[in-house]
Structure 1
């Protein structure tokens, strides 16, 4: 930290200018494959500098990666016809190419060109394949995401276009301008929404939503009508009615369940439905329509919470707001599924002992033979998660269940997949102390076998092949001696045999499948390792060809300090705690620096970055003369169940004993420059505010 008489203005200036300095210092090639023809080859755009790129074609069958065409010759040919062009900054972002590379078609402005045999350039009169985002049918707020991606906006109008990011409240934030006939590549996040409007009058042209993969957004004068499918709700219909009108149909009116016969005659089946205890209008008919299940419920209580909006946009005075918000101890909605025989026109009596105190009940549908209706019961307090079955004779049974003396992590780890042909179910559970998959017999309710096992976690299931009886899954920490949070792709058989890792490399992985799942693109990185990408055989995981290897040398030259990983035992002296250390770029090992921890300890996830990014906000803080650290302490998610249990009725703990142990260990292990004493307050805070607030809006991309 600066001495009392030291001028700290340079620190604040470095912090305020960091985003500017590194904006173009790190250009990452994140591979967005565009598969050719039947999917046996693909091309991608390789970005290697500010406004610098090239096109690469990959032939997996030949293990070949090569330029899609001769960039120098094409640039020369374009200049010969009067189009300004450089080999490393061609005026197009997408190509339509043949697998052998003998023909490449592309659009510049309003014209389409074809470059054949790396020699002949001519205008092309036909249509070409262009990958672009489909405009949204209506504007909507952006979704929060930490998945970084890019959109290249191509302006094919005859006027200047302004680009606005739509923030989480639905408000437009202007970021950039794209001149007529030009393009602009914007870094963004998956789920973020962008507006393209004419610069002169603000007239809306189109809205686009960023996807996981890099994409192109073509801005045109007139777009074809957008399908309205995006506006359709994915929620179930109010009543799951029989397909045929000659079958009895259950319905709800006057708070009770009725049945309507084929001739239209209606008969009341229940009598205890009231305004305070009605039946829900969603009804679940059995496959043969002889039975139906309806949920009678007690509504949640009214619990009004008040808040003051201190600075409304449309008035000077504060505004009082109120909204419905249940607090601990308040009465939640309580559902009670009831079975009805539509043929006999009566309720089938069932015992609710297995689902008396629900936090929630979710429909799981009828069994394949139509003899049992199933739902997922989440007990209030979250100590029991149970699949309950009601059969048409009124018998109630527990099909599968998990219980815990602390909590069942239903919000992050609940997973089930029914295999209807064999009457089995894949079920995720932490019953052995880690989140793993199990195979159950739905007829007998017996567990047939544990599918995955070990001191690592199944993060999610990618896909299930019921015919091959195989599962593809994302695993956290499955590779010993690597980070416990690093993601890998794996495949395993239903019986637990042949567990195979399909990705490889010390880091956390993301992957993109080829169209026939014959190949996959595997990308991995760490906070101290820029992304690497290879193409793999999706069956064996073997590397087919290396694609890209990024580095951050230019970042360091621009005044960015590398991030350090560090691990040390936590409060118990044995459980490893993992975190990162970020020094200022002007780091001097002979000085002592106060430590600031960027802390979040919510039990729903982990929060220390695992993959590579510039971590701009953390580095800006470090530039002010601090060592910035982030730590995942006990009570956060995706370690062992015992690790997670520390948060149970103990959120105030926040993993602080682990954070203290970790920081103490970091400072004592060859890091005397980490000052464990009381941090000193930076001088001239008004200057800090002025400089930090002077950052251009366009440099900041909220997540």
Structure 2
């Protein structure tokens, strides 16, 4: 099956391809005419292109399959009409598709029990569970069941409330409590309690976690400083928890100026490990045995905590062993360990080492109990690949995948047949290297087969018996298509649905244009998107704005059709060219590409400068004298850094929620890419160090309740700008957290800032965005 975009999209793509490939420079465009005023109607048109307005115009972009137990059948919900829904049942084995039930009959049956609907496709079915014979759902805060043979409905009896307290075992017989920072084991039957530890304290508590303060501000609730991290075994005999040493960990404080309850501000202080701290919170692993009523500190290295929550990244396996990830400070050592609760011992399953960093967001561990093996991922070959290990000895058996591709996710492993189903990118030639495809390979590394060949971004769902796969695929210019395939051959069995983008196209929206340029090394291809206004005129000159985020933990340019979820659409509509791209240092392109950012986070903007210059050489409508930039979080850092590092190039910037010095932010993310211990390169890449180089117009923004990057990070930059006697603009947003794009006032002010300072126009006064 091939992707066939609508005709007008094909024409646009051809136009841009021809323009990009011209060997003769195009004739000089006429002088641009810049209005002195951008009108209310211009803003209203742009408002239509905001993500929350566009998303409602796309129907059936995704299909969530619900497989029926023991059958090769599944049902899914499909949007119909303006806001209706219908339920479809698919028999994969017999290649049939029909309604999961008679919607009109069910509507009448529901009306008989007092549940009324406006139409058969507006049934009050919350959280439905559909089988061949009945449907169970929630409505009016009650549980209901309808017979799909005779179409009779009745209220299901309320089940006894089995709500149990935190720390309760699966069988309900035990509860592990924290009292005065110590562990107490309570029998739920008798109520008898036994204190298991006596050396806990506020600085060295048992089981406690570090809670994110956001909910407390928004819910007007007390700060939950008593959250616990207790993981019970399935048989309820054992539990894993920790003893945390936070004696050298500092606290941060957020202040809510406008509480809605009087004029007195509210402050919450909380533990927060920051990058560069001399000591991070460290946790000993504690094993609880209910049979002996003992708490044992296991003989294994302490694990570090670098953010909110608990310090242990682990879970109980089907073999009643507990496994957990263990990374060391500096992120050059990474282990997967296994706890045997019966013997109270810990063994290392696999140990990874690297002279730069090991990325924890890419590490995959998959236990194969029937084979006494496990699968582990590693970038040791230069690409993210899968490896098979002996579960008993821990010895490497073989590489499962290899070559120039990046394994992105395992979708399933058929232990009986020895197949691994996984999505990967970068293997298929002559296409975007970020496109994900589904593959099947034998556990011994042989028999690799591509199952989703279309040159597109694929997202797949496997059936429980591994016979079928549901594949939703699209590109940035072609709407999603969902098909059912055989997993043995990849052959398409049937088309399940196509996304309906009629409403989206009716607004005049056009998809962004993919582009490819070379990086600063003149050999590495980079990929991005160019957003144009719907009334784009190739004979005009347009300012260009870079929507930047260079965080090394991922890549950020969309590859599927969901580009209508970007703020860039609305901003472009005001008369700008907006680009989104991933330069060297971001993830999913292999180690050499990724390592560009190691101890070099400030270098992320370099490729963006080169890319914009190359685009201006290709497209005469780009005004290289008017270049803007914006971003949030790491993109906020990027924005300010670009304004300081390239003051002659970037004229206007809007930096939101920026971590302007990496030591003013969380330990985990920043030390991952900057390394540890702190050396002079931390100062060299700090925005505080080079703030004095600002020339252009810079707007800094931060939410006062940002729990992710503390507002101090922006205010410390403000202090440096003031010391350097630089002109800039600052906005602190009351009651806002990290993501300011949820605030209509901020979005409008960002528009105003670029319209006024980059477009050289007057924005409409006090325009109100409807949110």
TM-score for both structures, normalised by structure 2 = 0.59
Measure, in 1, the Cα distance between the counterparts of 2:474 and 2:431. Answer: 12
2:568 equivalent in structure 1:
618
1:132 equivalent in structure 2:
none
- Structure 1 residue 314: Cα displacement: 3.1
- Structure 1 residue 685: Cα displacement: 4.4
Q: Between Structure 1 and Structure 2, whose CA radius of gyration is higher?
A: 1
Measure, in 1, the Cα distance between the counterparts of 2:500 and 2:553. Answer: 32
598 and 348 in structure 1: CA distance in 2 versus 1, 3 angstrom threshold: closer
Measure, in 1, the Cα distance between the counterparts of 2:520 and 2:63. Answer: 42
For 1:504-515, what aligned pairs fall within 5 Å after superposition? 504-514=453-463
1:593 equivalent in structure 2:
542
DSSP 3-state at the match of 1:677: strand
Pick one of 517, 535, 545 that aligns with 2:494. 545
Measure, in 2, the Cα distance between the counterparts of 1:582 and 1:401. Answer: 45
Pick one of 163, 181, 186 that aligns with 2:118. 181
Count of residues paired in the alignment: 562
Pick one of 516, 521, 531 that aligns with 1:567. 516
2:750 equivalent in structure 1:
none
What do residues 93-115 of structure 1 show as CA deviations (whole Å, max 9, x unaligned)?
xx444xxxxxx4534754579xx
- Structure 1 residue 414: Cα displacement: 2.1
- Structure 1 residue 156: Cα displacement: 4.0
- Structure 1 residue 627: Cα displacement: 0.4
Measure, in 1, the Cα distance between the counterparts of 2:506 and 2:372. Answer: 61
Measure, in 1, the Cα distance between the counterparts of 2:84 and 2:289. Answer: 69
Question: Please, what is the CA RMSD of the aligned residues?
Answer: 5.3
Residues 259 and 266 of structure 2 are in contact (CA less than 8 Å); yes or no, is this contact kept in structure 1?
A: yes
2:42 equivalent in structure 1:
11
Gaps of at least 5 residues in structure 2 are 1-30, 130-134, 145-155, 187-192, 208-227, 628-756
2:452 equivalent in structure 1:
503
Measure, in 1, the Cα distance between the counterparts of 2:298 and 2:530. Answer: 59
1:326 correspondence with 2:301: no
1:451 equivalent in structure 2:
400
DSSP 3-state at the match of 1:545: strand
Taking CA–CA contacts closer than 8 Å with sequence separation of 6 or more, which of the two structures ends up with the larger relative contact order? Answer: 2
1:314 equivalent in structure 2:
261
2:686 equivalent in structure 1:
none
Residues 543 and 758 of structure 2 are in contact (CA less than 8 Å); yes or no, is this contact kept in structure 1?
A: no
- Structure 1 residue 402: Cα displacement: 0.8
2:626 equivalent in structure 1:
678
2:632 equivalent in structure 1:
none
Measure, in 2, the Cα distance between the counterparts of 1:393 and 1:44. Answer: 47
What do residues 304-362 of structure 1 show as CA deviations (whole Å, max 9, x unaligned)?
2123334333345654443332212153332334799999999999976x668786555
For 1:626-665, what aligned pairs fall within 5 Å after superposition? 626-653=576-603, 655-665=604-614
Q: Which structure shows the higher helix fraction?
A: 2
Pick one of 444, 459, 465 that aligns with 2:414. 465
Measure, in 2, the Cα distance between the counterparts of 1:31 and 1:373. Answer: 34
1:486 correspondence with 2:517: no
Residues 461 and 471 of structure 2 are in contact (CA less than 8 Å); yes or no, is this contact kept in structure 1?
A: yes
1:402 equivalent in structure 2:
352
Measure, in 2, the Cα distance between the counterparts of 1:258 and 1:29. Answer: 50
Comparing 511-520 and 529-538, the one that deviates more? 511-520
Measure, in 1, the Cα distance between the counterparts of 2:92 and 2:291. Answer: 60
442 and 535 in structure 1: CA distance in 2 versus 1, 3 angstrom threshold: closer
- Structure 1 residue 408: Cα displacement: 1.2
208 and 592 in structure 1: CA distance in 2 versus 1, 3 angstrom threshold: farther
Gaps of at least 5 residues in structure 1 are 69-94, 98-103, 114-124, 128-154, 158-179, 187-195, 197-205, 261-265, 698-703
Comparing 439-448 and 618-627, the one that deviates more? 439-448
Measure, in 2, the Cα distance between the counterparts of 1:233 and 1:574. Answer: 60
516 and 394 in structure 1: CA distance in 2 versus 1, 3 angstrom threshold: closer
For 1:101-140, what aligned pairs fall within 5 Å after superposition? 104=102, 106-107=104-105, 109-111=107-109
Measure, in 2, the Cα distance between the counterparts of 1:427 and 1:459. Answer: 13
Measure, in 1, the Cα distance between the counterparts of 2:392 and 2:70. Answer: 43
For 1:66-77, what aligned pairs fall within 5 Å after superposition? 68=98
Residues 386 and 402 of structure 1 are in contact (CA less than 8 Å); yes or no, is this contact kept in structure 2?
A: yes
Residues 355 and 379 of structure 1 are in contact (CA less than 8 Å); yes or no, is this contact kept in structure 2?
A: no
- Structure 1 residue 546: Cα displacement: 3.1
1:687 correspondence with 2:764: yes
Measure, in 1, the Cα distance between the counterparts of 2:538 and 2:589. Answer: 34
Residues 583 and 627 of structure 1 are in contact (CA less than 8 Å); yes or no, is this contact kept in structure 2?
A: yes
- Structure 1 residue 55: Cα displacement: 8.4
Residues 364 and 376 of structure 1 are in contact (CA less than 8 Å); yes or no, is this contact kept in structure 2?
A: no
Q: Which structure shows the higher strand fraction?
A: 1
- Structure 1 residue 285: Cα displacement: 11
2:377 equivalent in structure 1:
428
Measure, in 1, the Cα distance between the counterparts of 2:120 and 2:336. Answer: 53
Measure, in 2, the Cα distance between the counterparts of 1:686 and 1:386. Answer: 55
Residues 285 and 298 of structure 2 are in contact (CA less than 8 Å); yes or no, is this contact kept in structure 1?
A: no
DSSP 3-state at the match of 1:601: coil
- Structure 1 residue 385: Cα displacement: 0.7
2:330 equivalent in structure 1:
381
What do residues 664-702 of structure 1 show as CA deviations (whole Å, max 9, x unaligned)?
222212x11011112553455441651xx243x3xxxxx
572 and 688 in structure 1: CA distance in 2 versus 1, 3 angstrom threshold: farther
1:335 equivalent in structure 2:
283
425 and 233 in structure 1: CA distance in 2 versus 1, 3 angstrom threshold: farther
Residues 388 and 399 of structure 1 are in contact (CA less than 8 Å); yes or no, is this contact kept in structure 2?
A: yes
23 and 463 in structure 1: CA distance in 2 versus 1, 3 angstrom threshold: closer
- Structure 1 residue 632: Cα displacement: 1.3
- Structure 1 residue 584: Cα displacement: 0.8
